[in-house]
Amino acid sequence: MARVYNFSAGPAVLPVEVLEEAAAEMLDYRGCGMSVMEMSHRSKTFQTILDEAEADIRDLIGIPDNYKVLFLQGGASQQFAMIPMNLMKNHVADYIVTGQWAKKAWQEASKYGTANKIASSEDQTFSYIPDCSDLPISENADYVYICENNTIYGTKFKTLPNTKGKPLVADVSSCFLSEPVDITKYALMYGGVQKNIGPAGVVIVIIREDLITDDVFPGTPTMLKYKTHADAGSLYNTPPAYGIYICGKVFKWLKRQGGLEAIQKINQEKAAILYDFLDESTLFKGTVRRQDRSLMNVPFVTGSDELDAKFVKEAKEHGLENLKGHRSVGGMRASIYNAMPIEGVRCLVEFMKKFEMENGSHV
Ligand SMILES: *Cc1c(COP(=O)(O)O)cnc(C)c1O
């Protein structure tokens, strides 16, 4: 078996321990004589898996009782519609556009009401987070929306925007469970799990109970109402059962690492290795304003498309995979999620040093 260091932005690396456990339980889950993907989602066995997953994520984040945790499908992208359909009671919402995902969410929301773009960093290719301390928040805004960690551009909100009392909605797909969060500052937090938690096919929505109502956009499908899923404990219909099972294992793995504070320390250490090198490199350059740098997604360039391509190719030959930047921005991007071991980052930096020596400084 040869595992590579996988720097993919998503679907992304998972902890080896989790994959090994899943492999060991594949044919016979704890004496059931069947795998988790073959069992009824109404069975007691699966209910226990679901209950434990919910209890563990509640524990990790510290989610109070007045928030629901929903395990849904449709990816993060489906939330771009579900959020306005459920939350836009006044048909007004304010969006902070810090990248493609926030932009898509903003565009989708405009189908259901007035979606105001109150700040943007598009003027500098989304390479920074705008000052959000005193934005023109709409008086009748139903919520203020952010994408907290911008997977493609490698920026992260280090302070949450001042929403002037309006509910905050955040897409945390690529920073989910990477550091401690105060969930009470959010009305709704959601993320596709395929970045930092589990396999594609599950999206987790953490939503304050008072926002779950029947007062939704006219014609909203049953499946797109938060209330449908909240009332049914995420079992209105067949949930993404196997994906939830793997997420549950990742939650337990995170607890064994020491929880979110411990994983944050490790993530900071990993990111520092890479950023410190980028800051002193004569060939590679980070593309993000220093104070807005993400701990999870690290984009960098050489300044030459040719050298970038050569780097990605040679890195792959060294077992360092998926370092190509997003198709919309080019260059390189190393996604160093929770499950990326620190040795993987060290190995990447060693390879970058070698590449720099061989290819000289390039301006
Ligand atoms: C990947 C990503 C999405 C899109 O996720 P899908 O599950 O493919 O819809 C949305 N937001 C962010 C921040 C992402 O990283």
Q: Does residue 362 surpass a pLDDT of 70?
A: no
- Give the residue whose CA is nearest to atom 7 of ligand 1: 75
Q: Does residue 22 surpass a pLDDT of 60?
A: yes
pLDDT digits (tens, 9 = 90+) for 216-241: 999 999 999 999 999 999 999 999 99
pLDDT digits (tens, 9 = 90+) for 180-203: 999 999 999 999 999 999 999 999
Distance 9 CA to ligand 1 centre (A): 10
Mean pLDDT in residue range 301-320: 97
Please choose from 174, 175, 196, 202 the residue to mutate so as to test ligand 1's pocket, defined by most ligand atoms within 8 A of CB: 174
Q: Does residue 319 surpass a pLDDT of 60?
A: yes
Q: How far apart are CA 64 and CA 16, in angstroms?
A: 31
Q: Does residue 79 surpass a pLDDT of 80?
A: yes
pLDDT recorded at residue 327? 83
- Give the residue whose CA is nearest to atom 8 of ligand 1: 75
pLDDT digits (tens, 9 = 90+) for 51-76: 999 999 999 999 999 999 999 999 99
Of 3-17, 87-101, 164-178, 349-363, where does mean pLDDT reach its minimum? 349-363
Kindly indicate the confidence band of residue 328, based on its pLDDT and cuts at 50, 70 and 90: confident
pLDDT digits (tens, 9 = 90+) for 103-127: 999 999 999 999 999 999 999 999 9
Q: How far apart are CA 13 and CA 4, in angstroms?
A: 10
pLDDT recorded at residue 207? 98
Binding residues for L-glutamate: 42
Q: How far apart are CA 301 and CA 286, in angstroms?
A: 7
Give the active site residues. Answer: 101, 171, 195
Report how far apart, in Å, the C-alpha atoms of 123 and of each of 120, 258, 331, 363 are.
Answer: 8, 40, 19, 24
Binding residues: 42, 76-77, 101, 151, 171, 194, 237-238
Distance 101 CA to ligand 1 centre (A): 7
pLDDT recorded at residue 361? 58
pLDDT digits (tens, 9 = 90+) for 118-152: 999 999 999 999 999 999 999 999 999 999 999 99
pLDDT recorded at residue 134? 98
Report how far apart, in Å, the C-alpha atoms of 20 and of each of 10, 251, 279 are.
Answer: 20, 15, 37
